[in-house]
Amino acid sequence: MSAQAPVTAIEPDAMDFYNVRSLLTEDERDIQDAVARFVDEKVIPVIGDAFDQHRFPKELVPEIAALGLLGCNLDGYDCAGLNHVCYGLVCQELERGDSGIRSFVSVQGSLCMYPIYAYGNEEQKQKFLPGMARGEIIGCFGLTEPDGGSDPGNMKTNAVKKDGDWVLNGAKMWITNGTIADIAIVWAATDEGVRGFIVEKDMPGYTTRDIHKKFSLRASITSELFFDNVRVPAANMLPNVKGLKGPLGCLTQARYGITWGAIGAAIACYKEVLEYSKVRVLFGRPLSHTQTVQRRLADMSRRITTAQLLSLQLGRMKDEGTMHHTQVSMAKWNNVRMALDIARDARDLLGAGGISVEFSPIRHMLNLESVITYEGTETIHELIVGGQLCGAQAF
């Protein structure tokens, strides 16, 4: 038997208990660090006020684009061509800043650039993708309607062929980036099934309106879209997909990023409350030296670690081409629930200070109330996983 080399245990890092970072390549770590610096220097200093003022910090868009983060996991057309794990790390770091900033990047890359990339023709790709990667053309994605988002198969928005073009009627609701978007990827029922259209902002009959007074995602724009006999040229229809699998295929991309993003929000809350509990002295000792507080902090670390491993494995499967959309559902369900629970618990451990804009957990907690609803509610994802396990849909 050969002698085994002595093994020295490495003391776990409180912020990365299983050294998940060691599972990343050097390139992946470099990308993560670059985005982390941007978030620390540019996002975190302004985001509390932006949230308070119900304002999307649009001035950050050129820098986000210059970092190559828009459509960063697409190849060609001025996109960065990163792997999917890198895209996940980008989402994680951005959402450590705020879900609204990650939302902007998710919508632009996964919900607007992706369908043009995957379902568009060459002319559409050349026309839109480079400008979108540079942040000069902003997109929004219209699937949800006022009558119910969970069941998009029941959509009322419709498009009818007329003289070779399409005439679009209907409305979309709860649309991120709606009023600032130059183009909208709109999904509509047609006599050929659901089809996707690139609606441009100056097309007559197309109007948008912001949804004001939100308690959640206040640093993000959420809008309604209205289509009143909008004439969409045939050249703006996405030719290479038909049916609900078109929009659902985009959701898979965005949901994948959200599984990572939620980890970022959770890390922000956990880090803040871990530091706070070490300096807050109550009953003659730091809060962190109290059994129940330690259990709560340990539980946060456990849940973040398991979520990290889940998303990393998901990303590796996505990079290999073996990821199934029901696996994304399990991670979206697990990781957003994990982040929301941690944000609420961190808020509580901060006491009264936890309701102030000075600390981030309440902002993350309120944001995560949207994140757990959009891109498929928690229940929808439970049912997607259940349907895969049981071989029958139970929606």
**x-marked contacts with ligand FAD along 363-382 as a string, rule CB under 6 A:** -------x--xxx-x-xx--
Binding to ligand FAD (CB under 6 A): which residues in 214-233? 217, 222
106 binds, among ligand TGC, ligand FAD, none (CB under 5 to 8 A by kind): ligand TGC
Instruction: Report in angstroms how near the CB of residue 149 gets to ligand TGC at its nearest.
Output: 5
Q: How many residues bind ligand FAD (CB under 6 A)?
A: 21
Q: Given 26, 136, 375, 378, which residue is catalytic?
A: 375
Based on the shown chain and the rule CB under 6 A, indicate whether residue 153 belongs to the binding site for ligand TGC: yes
Based on the shown chain and the rule CB under 6 A, indicate whether residue 176 belongs to the binding site for ligand FAD: yes
Based on the shown chain and the rule CB under 6 A, indicate whether residue 100 belongs to the binding site for ligand FAD: no
- Relative to beta strand 183-190, strand 139-142 is parallel
Instruction: Report in angstroms how near the CB of residue 99 gets to ligand TGC at its nearest.
Output: 8
N-term to C-term CA, the chain: 58
Amino acid sitting at position 205:
G
Residue 153 or 351: the one with the smaller Cβ distance to ligand FAD is 153
Which of 245, 278, 295, 302 is the binder for ligand TGC (CB under 6 A)? 245
222 binds, among ligand TGC, ligand FAD, none (CB under 5 to 8 A by kind): ligand FAD
Residue 259 or 277: the one with the smaller Cβ distance to ligand TGC is 259
Give Cα separations from 171 to 36, 113, 188, 352, 359 (angstroms): 38, 22, 10, 42, 38
Binding to ligand FAD (CB under 6 A): which residues in 196-215? none
Burial string for 243-280 (b: 16+ CB within 10 Å, else e) reads ebebbbbbbbbbbbbbbbbbbbbbbbbbbbbbebbeeb
Residue 161 or 245: the one with the smaller Cβ distance to ligand TGC is 245
**375 catalytic residue (yes or no):** yes
Based on the shown chain and the rule CB under 6 A, indicate whether residue 304 belongs to the binding site for ligand TGC: no
Interacting span for ligand TGC (CB under 6 A) from 63-71, 73-81, 99-107, 125-133: 99-107
Report residue 296 as tokens: 């709560």
Based on the shown chain and the rule CB under 6 A, indicate whether residue 92 belongs to the binding site for ligand TGC: no
**245-279 vs 99-106: helix axis angle to the nearest 10?**
160
Smallest Cα–Cα separation from 100: which of 29, 163, 20, 180?
180
Residue 139 or 354: the one with the smaller Cβ distance to ligand FAD is 139
Residue 98 or 375: the one with the smaller Cβ distance to ligand FAD is 375
Instruction: Report in angstroms how near the CB of residue 99 gets to ligand FAD at its nearest.
Output: 9
Give Cα separations from 68 to 85, 130, 219 (angstroms): 15, 11, 21
Helix (H) or strand (E) holding 281: strand 281-282
Give Cα separations from 148 to 49, 74, 84, 178, 230 (angstroms): 32, 31, 31, 18, 23
**84-97 vs 99-106: helix axis angle to the nearest 10?**
140
| Cα diameter, the chain | 81
Given a contact cutoff of 8 angstroms between Cβ atoms, the answer to whether 262 and 307 are in contact is yes
The percent helix, strand, coil of the chain (3-state, each to 5) is 55, 15, 30
142 binds, among ligand TGC, ligand FAD, none (CB under 5 to 8 A by kind): ligand FAD
Token match 């998940």: residue? 20
Based on the shown chain and the rule CB under 6 A, indicate whether residue 106 belongs to the binding site for ligand TGC: yes
Binding to ligand TGC (CB under 6 A): which residues in 170-229? 176
266 binds, among ligand FAD, ligand TGC, none (CB under 5 to 8 A by kind): none
Instruction: Report in angstroms how near the CB of residue 154 gets to ligand TGC at its nearest.
Output: 8
Report residue 21 as tokens: 């970072």
Interacting span for ligand FAD (CB under 6 A) from 127-135, 142-150, 224-232, 284-292: 142-150
Instruction: Catalogue the active-site residues.
Output: 375
Binding site for ligand FAD (CB under 6 A): 107, 141-144, 148-150, 174-176, 217, 222, 370, 373-375, 377, 379-380, 395
